[in-house]
Amino acid sequence: MATVVIIGGGAAGAPAARSLSKKLHPGQRVILIEKEETVINPAVFPLYAVGKRKRGHLSRSRSRLTRRGVKLITGEVQKIDAAKKRVYIHEGEISYDLLLIAAGAVPDRSQPPGAADAAIDLQSLEGVEKLRALLPHFGGAEIAIIVPSTGIKCPAAPYEYALLLENWFQRRGRSRDISITIYTPEEAPLSLFGKRVSETVAGLLLKRRIRVHPAARISKIDGAEKTAVLDGNRFPFDLLLFYAPVMAPPFIEKSGLGDEEGWVRTDPGTMALPGEDSIFAAGDITRIETPSGAPLPKLGAIAHLQSFVAAGNIARLIRGRRPGRTYSGFTG
Ligand SMILES: Cc1cc2nc3c(=O)[nH]c(=O)nc-3n(C[C@H](O)[C@H](O)[C@H](O)COP(=O)(O)OP(=O)(O)OC[C@H]3O[C@@H](n4cnc5c(N)ncnc54)[C@H](O)[C@@H]3O)c2cc1C
């Protein structure tokens, strides 16, 4: 019996499991290991924060997987043993013939010091619930959005939050009383997507009077004083929103599968791990370089496309064929 194990049931893992379950024959099975009982889609957070989406829009359906015969295991992967073809969770071990790693990326809230305590976390459900509840009662004027590093998920999300918040206040006739500033290490908004995109976004922000502090490396947040410290200067805020950079889940390093920064280097065409004939990866956990040398952005749209390439190649290997499907290199 051929067993395909998928780690992670998010934007890459869930569609890969669905796609594979349609391709496999009797005697072949797909096991999806996911640490959360309910998988949340963070791409909906900005709209949810401003009341444009309901709670039900946030979670991904599990029944679509189980209906298709995918075996779901709720558990947190601790380690992969590539030589023995085994995945370890607290409850035991699971053997695989082929493995897809789709465990995403986790926020690293350690920098800048003070931010995690003083700010609302824009990447956690708890933080977004807090922001949604707070908005109608917000009596302050200065809203600061802090982006400490360019190594973030969905580089557009901090700007999306800013625009939606401005719109929220505008609809209530309060936008003139509110000042929104984004502190970002980028030289210009979304410069990684090229000049045209960057200028369009900058123009949009200017029109809405949203300020951008570019090339900003905030060194510290002083929660008691309600200020952000940058190059020795202090910038006051009434409400601080924090968009933390991300890192790879720690089990990748423990398994010896990470690069120097912990990410899984993946063949940009087949989505296989170089040198591993039975392991594939897709989504935020991968590191694929674009022709400019910059890493591919961490986007659900990219994760989704990569998952179909990985699933297609896994199905081909099971049928005794060589990987043939290739990722187009779409960058979002
Ligand atoms: C606020 C916000 C807004 C965004 N907006 C957009 C957008 O508009 N468009 C867009 O394309 N992208 C957007 N993104 C990015 C998008 O959400 C991610 O790029 C996408 O979810 C990545 O898919 P993934 O499958 O690689 O990871 P995820 O979707 O994060 O899935 C990984 C899964 O693996 C599980 N997992 C992790 N470790 C383990 C383990 N050890 N054992 C078992 N399971 C594990 C996790 O619980 C999770 O369910 C946004 C992100 C954020 C934070």
Q: Cα–Cα distance between 314 and 141 in angstroms, integer?
A: 53
**Ligand 1 atom with the shortest distance to the CA of 46:** 1
Q: Cα–Cα distance between 188 and 212 in angstroms, integer?
A: 8
Q: Which tokens belong to 328?
A: 């187009």
DSSP 103-129: ---EE-TTSSTTHHHHSEETTSHHHHH
pLDDT value at 332 more than 60: no
Residue 169, H or E segment: helix 157-171
Q: Cα–Cα distance between 302 and 291 in angstroms, integer?
A: 16
Supply the mean pLDDT for the chain.
94
Q: Cα–Cα distance between 92 and 89 in angstroms, integer?
A: 5
Mean pLDDT value of segment 127-152: 96
pLDDT at 61: 78
What are the chain's domains? Answer: 2-105+248-318 (3.50.50.60), 107-242 (3.50.50.60)
Residue having the nearest C-alpha atom to atom 39 of ligand 1: 103
Ligand 1 test: best mutation among 34, 242, 309, most atoms within 8 Å of CB? 34
Q: How far is the CA of 179 from the centre of ligand 1 (A)?
A: 30
- Contact call for residues 115 and 144 (beta carbons, < 8 A): no
Query: Above pLDDT 70, what percent of the chain?
Result: 99
Q: How confident is the model at residue 327 (pLDDT cuts 50, 70, 90)?
A: confident
Query: Above pLDDT 90, what percent of the chain?
Result: 85
CA dihedral in degrees (75, 79, 83, 85; nearest 10)? 10
Q: For the stretch 137-148, what's the b/e string if a residue is b when 16 or more beta carbons lie within 10 angstroms of its beta carbon?
A: ebeeebbbbbbb
Whole-number Cα distances in Å, 45 to 128, 238, 322: 7, 21, 40
Tens of pLDDT, residue by residue over 111-126, are 899 999 999 999 999 9
Q: Cα–Cα distance between 330 and 332 in angstroms, integer?
A: 6
Residue having the nearest C-alpha atom to atom 7 of ligand 1: 43
- How many C-beta atoms surround the C-beta of residue 111 within 10 A? 16
Residue having the nearest C-alpha atom to atom 8 of ligand 1: 43
147-161, 167-181, 318-332 — which is least confidently predicted?
318-332
The residue whose two tokens read 């302050």 is: 140
- Contact call for residues 147 and 183 (beta carbons, < 8 A): yes
pLDDT at 64: 78
Q: How far is the CA of 304 from the centre of ligand 1 (A)?
A: 10
Lining residues, ligand 1, CB within 6 Å: 7-13, 33-36, 39, 42-43, 45-46, 76-77, 102-104, 122-123, 153-154, 157, 249, 251, 283-285, 298-301, 303
Mean pLDDT value of segment 245-254: 97
Tens of pLDDT, residue by residue over 253-298, are 999 999 999 999 999 899 999 999 899 999 999 999 888 788 899 9
**DSSP character at residue 323:** P
**Ligand 1 atom with the shortest distance to the CA of 307:** 25
Higher pLDDT, 97 or 328: 97
pLDDT at 323: 85
Q: How far is the CA of 321 from the centre of ligand 1 (A)?
A: 30
Q: How far is the CA of 101 from the centre of ligand 1 (A)?
A: 13
Q: Cα–Cα distance between 314 and 13 in angstroms, integer?
A: 13
**Ligand 1 atom with the shortest distance to the CA of 251:** 41
- Contact call for residues 182 and 158 (beta carbons, < 8 A): yes
pLDDT value at 71 more than 80: yes
Q: How far is the CA of 298 from the centre of ligand 1 (A)?
A: 9
Closest-CA residue to 219 (of 233, 229, 208): 229
pLDDT at 66: 82
Contact residues for 309 (Cβ-Cβ < 8 A; gap 6+): 270, 271, 282, 325, 326, 327
Residue having the nearest C-alpha atom to atom 20 of ligand 1: 300
**Axis-axis angle for helices 300-318, 13-23 (nearest 10):** 30
Q: How far is the CA of 302 from the centre of ligand 1 (A)?
A: 11
